[in-house]
Structure 1
Amino acid sequence: MRWHNLYRRWVLQRHFRFAKEHLGDHFFDALTAYALGLGKLGIVEAKEAAWALSQLRKDPIPGFSGQLEDVFFTIDFYLRERFGSEVASALRRGLSRNDLDLTVFRAYACERLLRVLTSLSDLRRELLGLGQNHRQTLLTAYTHHRPAQPTTLGHYLTGVENLLSRDYQRLRSAFQTTDKCPLGASTLAGSPYPVDRKALAQWLGFGGTLEHTYDAIAAGDWALEIAYALAGMATSLSRLVADLLFWAEQGGFLVAEKISQGSSIMPQKVNPVVLEHVRGFLAELMGGPTTLGHLNYSTPFGDVNDHGPGVLEPLYNLFYAAEGAVALLRVALQESRFVPEVLAQGLRDRSVLASELVDVLVAGKRLSLAEAYPKVQGMLRELSSKGRTVAELGLDDLQSHLGFGDPELLQALEPERFIARRKVLGGAAPEAQAVYLDYALNRLKLERLELKELKSRRRKALRTLAQDPLSLLGEARSQSPIQSYRA
């Protein structure tokens, strides 16, 4: 069969190249599992096909020749050529490219999602480590692009980690949606052979079986859910990047030279370009839901497989951007250095402690809130008009403006005291930070153990499927060669 050159170029060759590079093992896995499913029903030639596939996969898949339209038909051709038509034909019983392709696509997406989850977990561990080291590093916190209150760098970094923990759960949920096996659904109504679909899923290392055969080949929401979860993560990471760039601009975050670049004309410049590249990757992730949404929108139920390869290429780019962004951000935090005196410079004039002064006045029952707030605000305005700062206030000033000249009021203007009073759950006080760190580290430990188990489950299942598939039917290696069946 020959295709038009343009169709070969823009569709067949492109999709074949992608499948050969990224999906080959997944095709062999799915085909082997289905052969075992048929073999379990007593179809001898199917057992032969399972063993034959374990041999055929040892050789690289040939490139696109123009004679065979995709990787599946290429495997089918060489299976027939090397092991005979009976073996190849047995594998085709009840098998459709609909359930085969969707099984392969989901297996690939699960593999890549596990890599993203691992990278994000590593970044969160880095943030918690830095949070531990910087629990007492004073930081001027901003709201509405203006200095707001004192906190610590550790409190900030662990706050970001808490946000990312929810992104992790959204990605974990997307993995759970994707981690279901469509194999055995055939075209849409189900295989005419009563293959054990739960066994197929288990052999392939999936966490479960997609419950409905029509939905199994029609579902496109799994890819869309991945895209949305990655976009959500990108949104969170972009906020951290924005702050790091702001601090880098001020000199409060010195990006390491090995991940910076100089200027072609200005010798004094060392540009924190690693963060700009992260920002670029994150922008790619933000576009993912639009692409995946349009690929699903108004597609008749059951036709999603027709643009399946068109889904995987955007997903590949999203996974690449996600891993790149997280890896670069983690190395930026590892290799670079925070400058405490710069991060705290917004605290020098003590203006960010005005709210604490109001609170101490009210808590000490000196003034009501309705009285204290305007008095402190008026004092700040008068100081500003005279070119003075809160840090220059004396007891006489407090007496004059507020009616009280207590030393306790001056103590309220110390950042360390402000932080020490914030002992509530999740607060900035050292004790509260310590409690949160214990909680967050334990949460991360449990998540990493689960992640390790997920990867181990898939790795063990696929290793057996590739190296000794017939053992899954309780048959020894010595029985696996085709000759032993035909003897």
Structure 2
Amino acid sequence: MTRHLAAACAVMLGASSVPALAQQGPPRDEFFWLGEMNKASTVINKDEGLLDPALAPKLAQGLARVIEAGNQPGAKRPSTVITFEPLMIKEAGVEVTLLHAGRSSQDMHATYRAAIMRDRLLALAEQLGRTTRTMVELAATHRGTVVPNYTNGVAAQPNIYGHYLLGLVAGFDRDAERIREFYARVDRSPMGTTVLNGTSWPLDRQRMADYLGFGALVDNAYDASQVAAVDLPVEAGSIVTSIALHTGSYIEDVMTQYAQPRPWILLREGGGTTGGGNTYVSSAMPQKRNPGLLNGTREQASNALALAMGPVFKAHNIPPGMPDAKSARANSAMIDSAARTLQGLDRILKALVIDPDRALEELNSDWTASQELADVLMRKYKLPFRAGHHFASEVVDYAKLNAVKPTDFPYAQAQAIYRKAAAEMGLAAAELPMSEAEFRATLDPVAIVKNRATSGGPQPAEMDRMLGDARRRLEQQDDWIKERRAKIASALARLDTDFATLAKGAN
């Protein structure tokens, strides 16, 4: 065995003990997968009688040298069949093109695109799980923190901050589910379909798929490189879009607080520069602490959205099979942009400073608890909701006109408003059925959220249940990622072993 081949085989055999996406090895780019496909073709075609067994070791030697050379620091790593093949010819002679039996750049490129996207999806799923876990644990920390929530940009109702965060977690959980479902569609081997209608060579497509770690075969040869290779990037873009929208929505919710003179939620100050810190001091206005981390992450989410639209426009109004939307690098950059967005969000969640007292003060300075008046009047005193809503609305109108806070509203005035509202609504009972103590308790935002009884509400028992469910889903997601990576790692290690054994036959 030559020195170069010995070194190459040592690298290949050593890979069997390395996790699937360990970064110590060569990047899993187009060059890597072209090498893996050629290794698998050498082994399979020799075993199937499509390649002379006496010639196979020589070809394996040449291929091993090509792979070893490409793995050197700074070396060129060709990314297409037509640029990879001349390197094989140089090292093993023109006979190496016998490996091209029943193959085409169409199915080979479709295969490495699927394999690269598969890796990127697992990396995205891992980052999504990491960021979601940070959000879940922040929700646990604030499982009793009462804050205002907003609808239509206006303070709406009191809520638990942890409950609000678990609502966002539910959105990210759907994104994780989409990744898992989409992965199953990507995890199909196109190899052996050639250009679009298969080949007369009796290829073992299933064994090829097994060596490359795919879970199944692309069923239709025309679909493999003419249809799926275009719509799969579009579907990936939809997942990136959803993640970016969820992230941007949360950031904007925090950003609105920076317009307030006394926010209840901010980023912890620090960093000093626009690039690295949570906030930075304005160059002109010394009082300003600009939220650089929020701005930067929102920009990254916008970049992700822009990249996610790319496959749609590239694939629009073209006949099947055109290359416009197929670039592995462009589609990888799109998926990676979502992972970077999630990394920024993770930093934001870890940098938040929440002031529960200030949040409660804001609630008690506005009328976000007013709906509870209508609810209690209907639930306890059988008053029609619209009548109770009318009464509560009149109370709020009076309070805002006279600058009265909920904690200071005169009970006698509430009684007078009720009598007027009852007459306007045609009610028989003209007196407010609530006592003064009950009237004030009904406007207590802390009591409101604790007394919620709806499944999925912010009450302590439901918070504990949802936190437990969220943690279990994250564990299941982690297990899913590990299983998929282990499957790929095991397949590639098996290929390395069989290829190295074949290459040794040259001695």
TM-score (normalised: structure 2): 0.83
Equivalent position to 1:252, from 251, 257, 264: 264
Amino acid in structure 1 at the alignment position of 2:155: P
Equivalent position to 2:35, from 28, 41, 50: 28
SS at match of 1:267: coil
Structure-2 separation of matches of 1:150 and 1:401: 24
Is 1:215–2:223 an aligned residue pair?
Answer: yes
SS at match of 1:254: strand
User: Aligned-pair distance for 1:299?
Assistant: 2.7
Structure-2 separation of matches of 1:293 and 1:64: 34
Structure-1 separation of matches of 2:168 and 2:417: 39
Cα separation, partners in 2 of 1:69 and 1:463, compared to 1, 3 Å: closer
Amino acid in structure 2 at the alignment position of 1:238: G
Equivalent residue, structure 1, for 2:415: 399
User: Aligned-pair distance for 1:453?
Assistant: 0.7
Structure-2 separation of matches of 1:293 and 1:365: 56
Equivalent residue, structure 1, for 2:171: 163
User: Aligned-pair distance for 1:264?
Assistant: 2.0
Equivalent position to 1:103, from 111, 119, 134: 111
Equivalent residue, structure 2, for 1:362: 378
User: Aligned-pair distance for 1:387?
Assistant: 2.2
**RMSD across aligned positions (CA):** 2.6
1:34-73 paired onto structure 2 within 5 Å: 34-42=41-49, 43=51, 44=53, 45-46=55-56, 48-50=58-60, 52-60=62-70, 71-73=80-82
User: Aligned-pair distance for 1:23?
Assistant: 2.0
Is 1:75–2:94 an aligned residue pair?
Answer: no
Which structure has more relative contact order (CA 8 Å, sep 6+)? It is: 2
Structure-2 separation of matches of 1:54 and 1:117: 33
SS at match of 1:58: helix
Cα separation, partners in 2 of 1:210 and 1:400, compared to 1, 3 Å: same
Amino acid in structure 1 at the alignment position of 2:152: H
SS at match of 1:102: helix
Amino acid in structure 2 at the alignment position of 1:353: A
Equivalent position to 1:326, from 310, 326, 342: 342
Report % sequence identity.
22
SS at match of 2:68: coil
Is 1:317–2:333 an aligned residue pair?
Answer: yes
Structure-1 separation of matches of 2:244 and 2:60: 42
**Residues 339-384 of structure 1: CA deviation (Å, up to 9, x unaligned):** 2233334311251111101111222216332432222222222222
Amino acid in structure 2 at the alignment position of 1:428: P
**Structure 1: gaps (5+ residues):** 1-19, 472-476
**Residues 84-137 of structure 1: CA deviation (Å, up to 9, x unaligned):** 332x12212222101011111111111111111111111111111011110111
Cα separation, partners in 2 of 1:343 and 1:386, compared to 1, 3 Å: closer
Amino acid in structure 2 at the alignment position of 1:343: A
CA contact (8 A) 1:231 1:288 kept: no
Equivalent position to 2:209, from 195, 201, 212: 201
1:237-386 paired onto structure 2 within 5 Å: 237-250=247-260, 251-256=263-268, 257-258=270-271, 259=277, 260-301=279-320, 303-304=321-322, 306-307=323-324, 311-349=327-365, 351-365=367-381, 367-386=383-402
Cα separation, partners in 2 of 1:252 and 1:386, compared to 1, 3 Å: closer
Structure-1 separation of matches of 2:90 and 2:329: 31
SS at match of 1:29: helix
User: Aligned-pair distance for 1:249?
Assistant: 4.0
SS at match of 2:478: helix
Equivalent residue, structure 2, for 1:17: none
Equivalent residue, structure 1, for 2:498: 469
SS at match of 1:330: helix
Structure-1 separation of matches of 2:75 and 2:80: 9
Bigger shift: 254-263 or 214-223? 254-263
CA contact (8 A) 1:183 1:200 kept: yes
Bigger shift: 354-363 or 149-158? 354-363
CA contact (8 A) 2:364 2:405 kept: no
SS at match of 1:351: coil
Bigger shift: 73-82 or 124-133? 73-82
CA contact (8 A) 2:58 2:506 kept: no
Equivalent residue, structure 2, for 1:85: 94
Equivalent residue, structure 1, for 2:127: 119
CA contact (8 A) 1:142 1:149 kept: yes
Structure-2 separation of matches of 1:222 and 1:409: 58
CA contact (8 A) 1:248 1:255 kept: no
User: Aligned-pair distance for 1:21?
Assistant: 9.3
Cα separation, partners in 2 of 1:399 and 1:297, compared to 1, 3 Å: closer
User: Aligned-pair distance for 1:261?
Assistant: 2.7
Equivalent residue, structure 1, for 2:243: 233
**Structure 2: gaps (5+ residues):** 1-26, 272-276, 419-430
Bigger shift: 73-82 or 222-231? 73-82
Structure-1 separation of matches of 2:116 and 2:124: 13
Is 1:481–2:504 an aligned residue pair?
Answer: yes
